[in-house]
Structure 1
Amino acid sequence: MMRSLYSGVSGLRTHQLRMDVIGDNIANVNTVGFKRSAVTFKDVFYQTLRGGSANTMNLGGTNLQQVGLGVTLDGISVIHTQGAAALTSNGTDLMIQGDGFFRVSPDGGTTKYYTRAGAFHFDNAGYLVNADGLKVLDTSGAPVQISAMADPATMPRSFSIDKLGYVHYVDNTGTAQTLTNPISVAKFSNPGGLEKVGQNLYAETASSGAPGNDLAPGQGSLANTTIIPSALEMSNVDLAQEFTDMIITERGFQANARTITTSDQMLQELVNLKR
C-alpha cells in the first residue's frame, strides 16, 4: 500500500486531536480560572531509501534519501497566562494577581488540590469553601474558618479579606478580629506539569514537582503575588486565536483527507490497468 495513505491517516488523527483541544478551549471561554491548552505536532520516523556517503577522490558526497511516514502528537501544553479580572462585588470572591494557586481540600487538609478559581463562600460552620464544598486552606495547612459563624448567637457583624489573604471580621461585641494565618497560595516551578482533574482543580504530579515553601502572598517567592477581593479571574481563552487555530486545523484536516482520496485514485488506476 502507498505510504501516503498511512501519512494521511496520521494527519487526520492528529488534527482531530487538535480540534478536540480547541473545542474544549472554546467551551470554557467563560469558565472562571480556566487555562487554555495548545497542541503541537512532530514528525514520526522515516524510511531510509539510500544512505549518505562522504566524498572520495573521484566522487562527491551524497545525501540520505528518506521518506517520512506521517505526523504524531508532540504535546498538549497548558498556557498559564493571567486571565482578565471580573469585578463581582462579592467579598468572598478572590482573584490571584500574579503566580500561584489557592489550596483547597476535600478532607480538611490531608488531600490538596490547587485552583485559580476563587469563587468562594462561607458555609454554615464558618469555613471558606468553593462551590463543591472543598475547604480553602491557610498557610498552616488548616481550613480557613471564622468559628463564630457556626453559632447564630456569635455571628460576626461584618468581614473582609485583604490583599495578603488575611480574613478580618467584627465580632458580635463590635471588636475587630483577624484570623492568625492568611489564605495560602502555592507556587510551582513548573505549573504546566500540573494535572487537570476537573471542577477547576489541578493536582500535583512528578512533572510539576511540589509547591514551594512560601505560601503567604506578598512574601518570599510570592512577593509579587497578591489577592484581589471581590473579583474573579476569567478564562485566558482568546476567541480570535481559537477561531484562527480552528480554521488552520480544519484546512489541515481537509488536506490530509485529500491526500487519502488522491492516493485511493492512484490505486484505482493500478487496479484498472488489467482492463
Structure 2
Amino acid sequence: MIIKTLASGASGMRAHQVKLDIIGNNIANVNTTAFKKSRANFAEIVRQALGDEGVPSVDNPRPEEGSGVMTVSIARMMEQGDLIPTGRDLDMSIDGQGFFKVIPIDSDDDQEYYTRDGHFFFNTDGILVNANGYEVEVEWNEEFDPAKYSTISVDEKGNIRGVRHSTDNEDQDSAEEPLGQIVLYAFPVPGNLFNKGNNLFMETETSGEPISEEPGTEGMGFIRQGYIERSNVDLATEMVGMIEAQRAYASNARTIQTADEMWERANNMRK
C-alpha cells in the first residue's frame, strides 16, 4: 500500500511539473505575435480492485483504488488573439481561422509552412516575406516590383492594390492598380498542426489537408491590413493555473514524504 502511495505521489509530481512547464512557456510568449497557448490534459491511471483480505465482502462492484495520474495530451488552443493596430501597410492579421502559407527561398527545405503571424516585408529582390525570410504565397497578376509603387493596400478579401509613384509628366500619383490576391488556408483540425517554432506550423495526418480559399469565404476569415494578432494568452488565467499547479505539486511531494516516514516507522517496528 505504501509503495502505491509513493507511486501515486510521484505521478502527480511528474504531471504537475509538465503543467508548470507549459504554463511557463505560455507566459513567456505573452507578447509573441499570434502565439497559441497550450494546455495539459490529465487522466487517471488504471484502477485496481482491492484484495479480499481486510475488505468488507461485496460482490459487485468490488472496492477499487487508483494508481495516480498521467499526462495524456498537450492541447493547443487555437482561439484568435486580439487584433492591435500598428499603422504599417505590410502588417496583416486574419480575423478568422485561416493561415498564411510561407515557403522557404533558396533552401534545401522544400516544406510548406503555415502561420498566423502577418508581420511581412519586401526583401531586396522585391519578394514579400515573413520575419524568417520565407516567401508569402501571393497570386500576383504579373511580375511585381514594389519599388514602382508609393502605396500598397490590401482589402479584407485579400485583394492587393497599388498606386504608382508620380512621374515627371504627372502632377500626382496614378490611380490604384490591381496587383494580386492573398490566399488563405484552413485545416479540419488546426489544433493538431505541428508547431515548428518561429510562429510556423506544419501539416500532419491528424490536422487534415489544407483547404485554400480567398479571404472571407468558407470561414477563412478576413484580412485586416495595419493590424497584427496578439497571443491568446491570458495572464490572469495562467497565473491562477500556476498557483494551482504549484500547490498540487507541493501536496504530492508531502504525500511522498508522509509515505516515506510511515515506511520508516514500519521498518523500525520490525527491528
Smaller-chain TM-score range?
0.7 to 0.9
2:182 alignment partner, SS class: coil
Q: Deviations over 1:121-152 (max 9, x none)?
A: 112222111111011102x5x8x996223xx6
Q: Does 1:90 align with 2:83?
A: no
Q: Distance in 2 between matches of 1:186 and 1:98?
A: 11
CA RMSD of superposed structures (Å): 2.3
Please report the TM-score for the alignment, with normalisation by the length of structure 2.
Answer: 0.88
Instruction: Give the drift of 1:254.
Output: 0.7
The structure-2 alpha-carbon separation of the partners of 1:137 and 1:48, relative to structure 1 and needing over 3 Å to count, comes to same
Q: Does 1:136 align with 2:133?
A: no
Describe how 1:107-118 pairs up with structure 2 within 5 A.
107=105, 111-118=111-118
Instruction: Give the drift of 1:40.
Output: 1.2
Instruction: Give the drift of 1:70.
Output: 1.0
Instruction: Give the drift of 1:67.
Output: 2.1
Q: Distance in 2 between matches of 1:270 and 1:121?
A: 70
* Structure 2 residue aligned with 1:5: 6
The structure-2 alpha-carbon separation of the partners of 1:42 and 1:147, relative to structure 1 and needing over 3 Å to count, comes to same
Q: Distance in 1 between matches of 2:58 and 2:51?
A: 15
* Structure 1 residue aligned with 2:161: 168
Describe how 1:9-28 pairs up with structure 2 within 5 A.
9-28=10-29
Q: Distance in 2 between matches of 1:26 and 1:77?
A: 16
Describe how 1:67-216 pairs up with structure 2 within 5 A.
67-107=65-105, 111-138=111-138, 147-149=144-146, 155-172=148-165, 174=174, 176-180=176-180, 182-212=181-211, 214-216=212-214
Q: Distance in 2 between matches of 1:203 and 1:85?
A: 23
Paired residues of 2:115 and 2:199 also in contact (CA < 8 A)? yes
Paired residues of 2:105 and 2:133 also in contact (CA < 8 A)? no
Instruction: Give the drift of 1:274.
Output: 3.8
- Out of 105-114 and 192-201, give the one that drifted further: 105-114
- Out of 157-166 and 80-89, give the one that drifted further: 157-166
Instruction: Give the drift of 1:50.
Output: 4.7
Paired residues of 2:183 and 2:214 also in contact (CA < 8 A)? yes
Unaligned residue ranges in structure 2 (runs of 5+): 168-173
2:244 alignment partner, SS class: helix
Please report the TM-score for the alignment, with normalisation by the length of structure 1.
Answer: 0.87
Instruction: Give the drift of 1:45.
Output: 1.6
Q: Does 1:248 align with 2:249?
A: no
Instruction: Give the drift of 1:86.
Output: 1.1
Residue of structure 2 aligned with 1:237, choices 213, 223, 233: 233
Aligned residue pairs, count: 257
Q: Does 1:266 align with 2:262?
A: yes
Percent same amino acid among aligned pairs?
37
Paired residues of 2:12 and 2:69 also in contact (CA < 8 A)? yes
